[in-house]
Amino acid sequence: MANLLTAARKTAQGQRGRTSTEDVDIEGVIRPTFLAGRLPTIKRSISARLGELVSATSMDGPTARSYLLKVKCVREHVFTVSSKDLLRGCWCPPCAEAAKRQLLVAALARMGKHAKRLGGKCLAPAYESARAPVAWSCAKGHQWAASWDNVRNKKSWCPTCARAASRFR
């Protein structure tokens, strides 16, 4: 208890932060008055994602520069995140996972559309990354592995058809 009050007094004197003994309760939890300086930024970040701040507590006592936030997202998931991570863009883990799955499905659909424009098919069951090898099939039925990056950006397609075409040049 004495260490807690001493640390709070030091911060009140401007040595490590902006708290005072009135801002710290017995358990070392920072009262909302301390968060007043950062709270508008934190609240803006949360409300931009249609979330709600449930609670905020100090991670390292009264001199902490980061706070453990309990937040409720728009889908009613309650999760815990540090203020630093929140301000760096971290959000609700279940929602983030769902968004990631949607992006992967959309990428796989783009790969299929691109292959169809070239007269072939993308045979990948799932999308991993732009540089992971994926199975492809051309209009003549040849199959090979190439990354999405190579097919889309480097314009590579069926190596068998490309070899056959180069023989006739």
Question: In terms of pLDDT, which residue wins out, 87 or 6?
Answer: 87
Neighbour count for residue 25 (Cβ, 10 Å): 13
Mean pLDDT of all residues in 142-146 = 96
**For strand 67-72 and strand 143-147, is the pairing parallel, antiparallel, or unpaired?**
unpaired
Domain ranges of the chain: 2-91, 107-167
Across 39-48, 63-72, 90-99, 106-115, least confident range: 63-72
Computed on alpha carbons and rounded to an integer, the radius of gyration of the chain in Å comes to 27
pTM of the predicted protein model: 0.56
The answer for 29, left when phi > 0, alpha when psi is -120 to 50, beta otherwise, is beta
Are 62 and 8 a contacting pair, CB within 8 Å? Answer: yes
Phi-psi region of 94 (alpha: psi -120 to 50; beta: other; left: phi over 0): alpha
Residues 4-23: tens digit of each pLDDT = 334 444 444 443 444 444 44
Q: To the nearest 10°, the Cα dihedral for 164, 165, 167, 168?
A: 130
